[in-house]
Chains A and B, each alone.
Chain A
Amino acid sequence: MATTTTTVPSAGPVAGSRSFLSRLRDGDEIARLITFLFAASVVLVTLLLVFELWQGSVLARHKFGFDFFLTKVWDPVFDQFGALPFIYGTMVTSVVALLIAIPLGIGAAIFLAELAPQKISDTLQFFIDLLAAVPSVIYGLLGVFIVIPLMREYIQPALKTTFGFLPFFQGPVYGMGFLTAGIVLAIMIIPYIISVSREILLSVPRDQREAALALGATRWESTWKVVVPFARTGILGSVFLALARAVGETMAVTMVIGNAPTISASLFSPGDSIASVIANQFTEATGDLYLQSLIELGLVLFLLTFILNGLARLLILVTTQRGSGTGLA
């Protein structure tokens, strides 16, 4: 702050002496205005989105109030709408996806950035970028034709016999459900985590590694104790980017989750998610309350991503204050 105030007096007269018109002629003002409009449009679109969702769900909000979040019934015939099973499904599938994707993704990123030879790292990175660009419906097909049969025939029965005492792995085996959706989501978001985390790890200054090695650390020690903590903020950012995609994913989830709004501790149980129910029911929704309840679900999803983003910011803030990794991200 101090430096800017001292430079102002010297720069000020020069900038101030030029008339607005001359600056306009030079294009500076126009460029400023245009780029400002571009930046403002982002804010505008966000506000418009919230406004539309808020406006479009007025009936449902007034009728159900806060109970909308606590009601388990979703009954278009008798006009009873509650978001709880969908919120639950969105959260559970996202958490399962993260539990699988974080260790795999960060592990792979560490290998690619720190341990693998350049050639292998670049080749693998090419495939990872390719995976990140695959449309989600393709992942859905992968889920339907490969993951679901595998889950039904092998993985779920095996989990049931070994970990069947846990409430997560009980109940009938259908092949689809929370666990399958979580796994398909994990496959989808791993490329994001790897890609971003690898870039972050590569951008850690060389001095950091050399200093650790000079102090007698092994290669792994320098990676795990110096480089990874340094890059912590950026890695967390990649995780939240992945989470945002998992929360909002529609097509792939709808194809493998079973589309039955249930709340069950068992990960084998079929469920439903917010994005999936909107996509499924919006086109044929007749009746104002039904339609508005679906729009309110959209609002809930927006709120959920908003909260998650806020949490991410908070987490990054807390860890950077406590930790070493400044100047990144």
Chain B
Amino acid sequence: MKRIARLLLAVFALAGAAWAQNSLLINGAGATFPYPMYSKWFDEYHKKDSNLQINYQSIGSGGGIKQVTEGTVDFGATDGPMNDDQLKAFQDKHGFGILHFPTVLGADVPTYNIPGVSAELNFTQEAIAGIFLGKITKWNDPAIAGPNKGVNLPANDIVVVHRSDGSGTTYIWTDYLSKISDEWKNKVGKGTSVNWPVGLGGKGNEGVAGLVKQTPNSFGYVELIYAIQNNMPYGRVKNSSGAFIKADLVGVTAAAAGAAKNMPDDFRVSITDAPGKTAYPISSFTWLLIPTRFSDAAKRDAIKGFLKWMLADGQNYTENLSYAKLPKEVVAKELKAIDKVQ
């Protein structure tokens, strides 16, 4: 009996030592939107470097910021950049800063359901802001009908549909509305949840899509990937150069490229309503939040290694999963920023 126990103990000790030696576990948490991309990346990277296991929990951007600030995870992820207060809170608690690294791009598309109308509609900034502020209430309003000559729009009331849950998708949408409409900016503002002037709320992209599909004369927004994967029809949006753009991955990357010139060094930048002829205006980065200092050198090197791989080979996996890849201007800038992690 005793011998067996001793043997078992030895085996456990050996296994434990082997495991501790060869495997490094890094924990992260945050945004749900890039979760499919991240889990693919972490999986592929694990195949490359089997000693490194990156564990990511998609608990939401808010949770990601909170947990990385509290130090319960090694890195965070968010769909909306941390604000100055949050950065200060991190600095105060840890004595060093935190960096934003854009990973992929996402976009929101306007979707609608008007009985008898199958055409792809064009939406101007005024139309989208007016509908969501509750000022444009009928489908045949001149602001909507103007750029849609030849489409027979009914005189029905518009039913606005938005997200009921806090989400990065809402952040992008309200960030865009804040840029194109001063009234929206002052009255409602941008955030993962806002105080909507009008409309019904659906939970998740599927909730909004379901509501729009079910409710005649409705207008809502969903994440581009969701629309592509579910073959949903969606409208074109007028960009800052005056062109009506139908969202696709190329247009989203173009928006990021257009914004790259004025990109601040900390990458906390909104690329909604970005300049550029082909830029799709309702686009956004999603970020990894990496502390600038790691006490564990192995972890630091592993994370830096992963970031470099993600910006190079990792970007090749994006389009299969319908994420827009980073423009090369941004990649070059990020590669430099990796050196700030110590």
Contacts and interface: CB of A to CB of B under 8 A. Distances in A.
A280 B200 contact: no
A77 B165 contact: no
Given A77-B195, A144-B210, A284-B62, A260 B200 contact: yes
A283 B164 contact: no
A259 B210 contact: no
Interface of A: 73-78, 80, 144, 148-149, 152, 172, 174-176, 254-255, 258-260, 270, 272, 276, 279-286, 291
B238 interface: no
Given A77-B194, A175-B214, A286-B192, A254 B203 contact: yes
Given A77-B190, A77-B195, A284-B165, A258 B61 contact: no
B214 A285 contact: no
B136 to A, nearest CB: 16
Contacts of B207: 255
Residue of B86, B199, B200 contacting most chain A CB atoms (<10 Å): B200
Residue of A272, A283, A286 contacting most chain B CB atoms (<10 Å): A286
Nearest to B165: A280
Interface residues of B, number: 36
A141 to B, nearest CB: 10
Contact of B165 (A152, A260, A281, A291): A281
B190 A174 contact: no
Nearest to B31: A284
Interface in B51-105: 59-63, 65-66, 80, 86
A297 B48 CA distance: 47
Interface of B: 32, 59-63, 65-66, 80, 86, 157, 159, 164-168, 188-196, 199-203, 207, 210-211, 214-215
14 contacts: A75-B194, A77-B188, A78-B195, A144-B214, A149-B214, A259-B164, A260-B199, A280-B165, A280-B166, A283-B63, A284-B63, A285-B62, A286-B62, A286-B65
Contact of A259 (B32, B86, B195, B202): B202
A285 B170 CA distance: 13
Nearest to B188: A77
Contacts of A80: 195
Contacts of B165: 279-281, 283-284
A247 B59 CA distance: 26
